[in-house]
Amino acid sequence: MTGALVVVEGATDRAFVDAIARRLGAACEVYVMRGNRPEKVGRYLKALARRFSKAIVLKDLHRGGVDRASLIDEAARLVSRLEGLKAHVIQVRRSIESWILAGLSASSPEDVADPEGELKELIRRRGGHYVKRPEAYRRLAEEVDVGCAVARSKTFRDFVECLESRA
């Protein structure tokens, strides 16, 4: 049993979280959970429980037309029943792009209605071109100010504290 298992929703989330964990010196493996069925998360964690000391499940609050809050609550309920693995469900306020905005000094990034659009516009203003690809998100993770992101985003702070804690 070593490090943490971090479960994310997509390939860009995986690239960002993996690069942030490396910057923090935190031992973890990042897996992409395809789909939004809470029972799938429970089975997935149960299958991998012996390989990790803890698990962190990141669930975005965004995505139109879907009651994400109930999905997140159900995932947390199922995860809390797991034996042999300390698991945490962190509800990412809006999306991982909110964390990137926080680390690039955006004010109130978790209140931005469209963080991906805001990130795209910020990159454009800086003379860049936004492309949602894992390589781009890995580079953004290297660019963000982690201390600033922790100060400006409660959910990012929760993630970092959970990742760095022993339990």
Output the pLDDT for position 26. Answer: 94
Output the pLDDT for position 51. Answer: 84
58 exposure class (CB count in 10 Å sphere: 0-12, 13-18, 19+): buried
Output the pLDDT for position 47. Answer: 79
Q: Which amino acid is at 152?
A: R
CATH architecture of the domain formed by 4-164: 3-Layer(aba) Sandwich (3.40)
Stretch (H or E) spanning 117: helix 115-125
Output the pLDDT for position 142. Answer: 97
Output the pLDDT for position 65. Answer: 44
Longest dimension (CA), the chain: 50
Stretch (H or E) spanning 31: strand 28-32
Query: DSSP H helical segments within 34-114, as ranges?
Result: 38-48, 68-80, 96-103
Q: Which amino acid is at 45?
A: L
Residue 78 CB neighbours (<10 A): 20
- The residue ranges of every structural domain in the chain are 4-164
Q: Which amino acid is at 157?
A: R
pLDDT tens, residue order, the chain (167 aa): 578 989 898 999 999 999 999 999 999 999 898 766 666 777 777 777 778 888 898 988 765 444 555 665 666 666 666 666 677 888 888 889 999 999 998 888 999 989 999 999 999 999 998 999 999 999 999 999 999 999 999 999 999 999 998 76
- Residue 56: phi, psi to the nearest 5? -130, 125
Q: Tell me how far apart the alpha carbons of residues 31 and 43 are, in angstroms, rounded to a whole number.
A: 14
3-class DSSP state of 21:
helix
- Residue 90: phi, psi to the nearest 5? -115, 120
pLDDT tens across 98-128, in order?
999 999 988 889 999 899 999 999 999 999 9
pLDDT tens across 125-144, in order?
999 989 999 999 999 999 99
